[in-house]
A and B are shown apart, each in its own frame.
Chain A
Amino acid sequence: MDRATKLVAPEISGAEILIRCLEAEGVEYVFGYPGGAVLFIYDELFKQDKVKHVLVRHEQGAAHAADAYSRASDKVGVCLVTSGPGVTNALTGIATAYMDSIPMVVITGQVPTHAIGQDAFQEVDAVGVTRPCVKHNFLVKDVRDLALTIKKAFHIARSGRPGPVVVDVPKDVTGARCRFEYPDAVVMRSYNPTVKGHPGQIKKAAQLLLEAKRPMVYTGGGVILSDAAAQLTKLVKLLGFPCTNTLMGLGGYPATDAQHLGMLGMHGTYQANMAMQHCDVLLAVGARFDDRVIGNPAHFGSVPRRIVHVDIDPSSISKRVKVDVPIVGNVREVLDELLKLLDGQAGKLDQRALKAWWTQIEQWRSKDCLRYDRASAIIKPQFVIEKLYEVTGGDAIVASDVGQHQMWAAQFYKFDRPRRWINSGGLGTMGFGLPAAMGAQFAHPGATVACVTGEASFMMCMQELSTCKQYRLPIKIVNLNNRYMGMVRQWQQFFHGNRYSQSYMDALPDFVKLAESFGHVGVRVEKPADVEPALREAFGRRQDLVFLDFLTDQSENVYPMVPGGKGISEMILAEEL
C-alpha cells in the first residue's frame, strides 16, 4: 500500500482487522469454538472464505488440533476461543504445545475493557492463567495495537525456540474501528534469538567428532522443528556414527537405517541407552537431556564423556548436564556449518576404534530388547503396532495419546520421515490423540492418519468424534484396549506392590456402538489372527473414520524400563521378571 491509499483506507472493525491479519499470515485453518466475547470475530469469519474455521466440540480439542496441525506441517497453528471457560478449557492444549515448543497462536476473547476486573460474566484473567505455559502473551486494550500485536505473536511463536503465544482481545476492541495496515516486519529490541552458531564452537565440535572413538548422536524435537532431518541424516551417514532419537525426535533420522539404534530414554532400547551411557563423544542436537531421557543426571555424569550440545535455547544448555562444547543456534544452520567443515574429513576418523564400538553396539542390539510373546493367544499391543506399520507401509501420520500405547507406537512404528509422529512428549497429555489426528489430517488432507490410543486416553477427548464426522475426516483409530490405565498399572505393579489403585477402567462403553452413534464405523478385534485383516479392511476404507477396538493383553508391560531416578543403563528388561 502506498501512502495515498493508506490515508484513504477506510476504518474497519477490530474483528475484521483480526481476520485480515490471519489472512496476511497465510492462515488456512482456525480451530475454535464460539462464545459471547468472540461473536464479532465469528461474524467476520462468516463474511469471508479465505480463512476457514474448524468447529471443535471442546476448546481443548481446538488447541490440540491447532498444535498438531503445526507439528504435521511447518506452519503456525491457530486457535480461537472465547473468554473465561473457553480459555481455561484450552489451557491444557496450550501447556501441551509449550512443553513441546510448538508454534501456535491462540486468540482468546475477553470481556470488554471496561468490565475487566469486575468479575464479569465469563471473565478470567487469561494473560494471568496462561502466563506460565506460553512463550509470551498479550492483552490488546486498543484496536490500534491489534495488527502489530498479531504480527508480533506470529513472529514470536515461530522464531527462536518456538512456542504458543496467546493474544487476549476484549470484545469492545473487536467492535472498535480503525484503519488497517499489516506491518511487513517487526523489530523488537528485547527479542532477537540467536540463529547462527558460533563458528569457533562449531570448529571445536567438528574436531571432537573426528577424534571420537565411541561416538553417539542423540537428537530430539529440535531437529524436527527446524526441519533439519536431511542435514542430520547426511551428517550421521558421513561419519558412520550411531544415532538415537528421543520421543520427540522420532523421524529425524530414518528408523529403518542400520545406524539408528531406536529411541532412547525411560522406554528406550537397550542398545541406545547403553551407547548413550558408554560413549566418549556425544553430539546432542535439539534435545534437552530431560529426566525421561537420561534418568538420573548424577549417574549419567559418573562416566566421563565429552558432550557437544546444539540447541536454540541457551537455557537448555548445561541445565541438567554439563556440556563441553555448547553451540547456541538454529539446529539446521549449525548442522549445515558442521557438514561444511566435515566434508571430505571422514578419512581422519579412527576406523579401528569405530569398528570395535559398532561390534559392542551390535552385541547390545542382539539382546533384542523389544521382543515379546508372539505366540500369545491374546492380542499383544506390540503386535498391533507392528501390523499397523506393515499395513500402512510405514507411511502413515501417527497421532498418539499418552500411556503404554504411546511407548509401543514409538518403539514399534519405524518413522523414516519427520512430522509423521505426533505426540505429547513433554506434558504427557491424555486426550491429545484424537484432536491431534484431526489437526494432522487438516494439514495433509490426502494422507493416511492413524490415531493410536488407549481406552482411558481416548475417553478424555472423545467428543471430537463429532467434529470428525462434520468434516468427514477418515482417521483410523487404533484403540489398544486393556481395560486399565496401563502405564499407571505398570508403575503400581513395579513400585507400589501390585496395588492397582484406581487404575482399572470399569463400566467402559461399547466402543463399536459409540463410534456408530457418531456416524462412524466401529470394529472390535479380539483375536491375534484378526488383527491384520481388520487393519487392512479399515485402511482400505478411504472415506470413513474407522474405530478399531483391539482387546489387548491386560498384563503387558512396556520394556525396557528405566525406573525414575535410576541411570539409563539401569534398565529393567522383559526377561528379568
Chain B
Amino acid sequence: MNAPVASPYTLPAAETKAMRHIVSILLENEPGALSRVAGLFSARGYNIESLTVAPTEDGSLSRMTIVTTGSDDVLEQITKQLNKLIEVVKLVDLSEAPHIERELMLIKVRATGKDREEMKRMADIFRGRILDVTETTYTIELTGTGSKLDAFIEALDKAAILETVRTGASGIARGERVLKV
C-alpha cells in the first residue's frame, strides 16, 4: 500500500501579506465591460471591497474605482489581468502615490424627542448635510474617506439608524498626475 500523501491535488498557498489598494481604471463605455471586470475578479478569486463606475467627461469612456486587498504579487496579477481585458484602456494603482479618496453615504436616522437635536449636532460635527426631514427622521448626506463614514456610524446609537447606502470609494491622484487617454 502507498503511504498517505498530502493532497496530491492542491498546491501550497504562497505566503502573502494583504494590503488595501485602490485601483482606478479607464475603460470603454460599452455594454458588458463592467461584467468583464467583475467576472475577472470572481473567476480568479480576487477580492472586491467596493466598485464604483460612471462615464467620464468623454462619454465613450467610463472610469471605475475598485478597492481591493491583496499581496504585492496578487496586485501585480490583478493589474496585469485587468490590462489584458480588451476594453480596458488604462489603469493605475492609486495607492502607489499620494491620492485623495472620497465616498458618499446617505443615512436615514430616527430623529424624535431629545435625540432630534443630538442627531442634528452629530451631523454638523461630521460636516454632514441634512437632505430630507420628516417629523420622525432625518436623511443625512456625508462625504469623506471610508473611515470617516465608519466613524460617523460608530458615533450614532445603532437603534437610531434606519437605513444606510454608500457609494464605495472614488479616487484621484494628488498633484499633476492624471489618468487620461
Name A residues whose Cβ lies closer than 8 Å to a Cβ of B: 127-128, 131-132, 135-137, 139, 156, 188-191, 291, 296-298, 313-315, 318-319, 491, 494-495, 497-498, 563-566
**Cβ-neighbour of A565 out of B12, B35, B80, B81 (below 8 A):** B12
Are B35 and A315 in touch, CB under 8 angstroms?
no
Are A495 and B35 in touch, CB under 8 angstroms?
no
| Cα of A561 to Cα of B67 in the assembled complex, Å | 42
Inter-chain residue pair count (beta carbon < 8 A):
68
A363, chain B: closest CB distance, angstroms: 28
B174 at interface by CB-CB < 8 Å: no
Which residues of chain B are within 8 angstroms of A319 by Cβ–Cβ distance? 77
**Cβ-neighbour of A291 out of B7, B11, B86 (below 8 A):** B11
Are A497 and B181 in touch, CB under 8 angstroms?
no
| Cα of A291 to Cα of B12 in the assembled complex, Å | 11
Are A315 and B87 in touch, CB under 8 angstroms?
no
List residues 12-28 of chain B with CB under 8 A from any CB of chain A.
12, 14, 27-28
Which residues of chain A are within 8 angstroms of B1 by Cβ–Cβ distance? 497-498
Q: Which residue of B lies closest to A562 (CB)?
A: B8
> Can you identify 30 A-B contacts, CB atoms within 8 angstroms?
A127-B32, A131-B36, A131-B39, A132-B39, A135-B86, A137-B32, A139-B31, A139-B32, A189-B89, A190-B28, A190-B86, A190-B88, A191-B86, A296-B11, A297-B11, A298-B12, A298-B14, A315-B77, A315-B81, A315-B83, A315-B84, A318-B76, A494-B2, A495-B5, A495-B8, A497-B1, A564-B11, A565-B6, A565-B8, A565-B10
Contact with A along B42-80 (1 / 0, CB 8 A): 010000000000000000000000000000010011001
Given A298-B14, A497-B2, A565-B7, 15 further pairs, Cβ under 8 A: A128-B35, A132-B39, A139-B32, A189-B181, A190-B28, A296-B11, A313-B84, A315-B80, A315-B83, A318-B76, A494-B5, A564-B8, A565-B6, A565-B12, A566-B8
Name B residues whose Cβ lies closer than 8 Å to a Cβ of A: 1-2, 5-12, 14, 27-28, 31-32, 35-36, 39, 43, 73, 76-77, 80-81, 83-84, 86-89, 181
| Cα of A132 to Cα of B39 in the assembled complex, Å | 7
**Cβ-neighbour of B12 out of A188, A190, A296, A314 (below 8 A):** A296
| Cα of A132 to Cα of B36 in the assembled complex, Å | 8
Are B86 and A565 in touch, CB under 8 angstroms?
no
Are A132 and B89 in touch, CB under 8 angstroms?
no
Q: Which residue of A lies closest to B76 (CB)?
A: A318
Q: Which residue of B lies closest to A316 (CB)?
A: B80
Are B11 and A190 in touch, CB under 8 angstroms?
no
| Cα of A564 to Cα of B6 in the assembled complex, Å | 9
Are A565 and B89 in touch, CB under 8 angstroms?
no
| Cα of A510 to Cα of B55 in the assembled complex, Å | 63
Are B9 and A565 in touch, CB under 8 angstroms?
yes
Q: Which residue of B lies closest to A156 (CB)?
A: B86
Are A190 and B89 in touch, CB under 8 angstroms?
yes
Which residues of chain A are within 8 angstroms of B28 by Cβ–Cβ distance? 190
| Cα of A564 to Cα of B76 in the assembled complex, Å | 26
**Cβ-neighbour of B2 out of A189, A314, A495, A566 (below 8 A):** A495
Those 9 A-B pairs whose CB atoms lie nearest each other, nearest first? A315-B80, A564-B8, A190-B89, A136-B86, A563-B8, A495-B8, A314-B80, A132-B43, A191-B86
| Cα of A297 to Cα of B12 in the assembled complex, Å | 9
Which residues of chain A are within 8 angstroms of B27 by Cβ–Cβ distance? 190
A203, chain B: closest CB distance, angstroms: 24
Which residues of chain B are within 8 angstroms of A494 by Cβ–Cβ distance? 2, 5, 8
| Cα of A429 to Cα of B72 in the assembled complex, Å | 34
Which residues of chain A are within 8 angstroms of B12 by Cβ–Cβ distance? 296, 298, 565
**Cβ-neighbour of B9 out of A156, A498, A564 (below 8 A):** A564
Which residues of chain A are within 8 angstroms of B8 by Cβ–Cβ distance? 491, 494-495, 563-566
Which residues of chain B are within 8 angstroms of A566 by Cβ–Cβ distance? 8
Which residues of chain B are within 8 angstroms of A128 by Cβ–Cβ distance? 35
| Cα of A564 to Cα of B7 in the assembled complex, Å | 8
| Cα of A539 to Cα of B133 in the assembled complex, Å | 88
Q: Which residue of B lies closest to A563 (CB)?
A: B8
Are A190 and B35 in touch, CB under 8 angstroms?
no
Q: Which residue of A lies closest to B78 (CB)?
A: A315
| Cα of A191 to Cα of B84 in the assembled complex, Å | 8
Which residues of chain B are within 8 angstroms of A190 by Cβ–Cβ distance? 27-28, 86-89
Which residues of chain B are within 8 angstroms of A135 by Cβ–Cβ distance? 86
Which residues of chain A are within 8 angstroms of B31 by Cβ–Cβ distance? 139
Q: Which residue of A lies closest to B83 (CB)?
A: A314
B15, chain A: closest CB distance, angstroms: 9
| Cα of A497 to Cα of B8 in the assembled complex, Å | 13
| Cα of A156 to Cα of B86 in the assembled complex, Å | 9
Q: Which residue of A lies closest to B33 (CB)?
A: A190
A20, chain B: closest CB distance, angstroms: 24
| Cα of A318 to Cα of B74 in the assembled complex, Å | 11
A137, chain B: closest CB distance, angstroms: 8
B92, chain A: closest CB distance, angstroms: 15
Which residues of chain A are within 8 angstroms of B43 by Cβ–Cβ distance? 132
B40, chain A: closest CB distance, angstroms: 9
Among B9, B77, B84, the most chain A Cβ lie within 10 Å of the Cβ of B84
Which residues of chain A are within 8 angstroms of B84 by Cβ–Cβ distance? 313-315
Which residues of chain A are within 8 angstroms of B81 by Cβ–Cβ distance? 315
B17, chain A: closest CB distance, angstroms: 16
Q: Which residue of A lies closest to B89 (CB)?
A: A190
Which residues of chain A are within 8 angstroms of B76 by Cβ–Cβ distance? 318
B77, chain A: closest CB distance, angstroms: 6
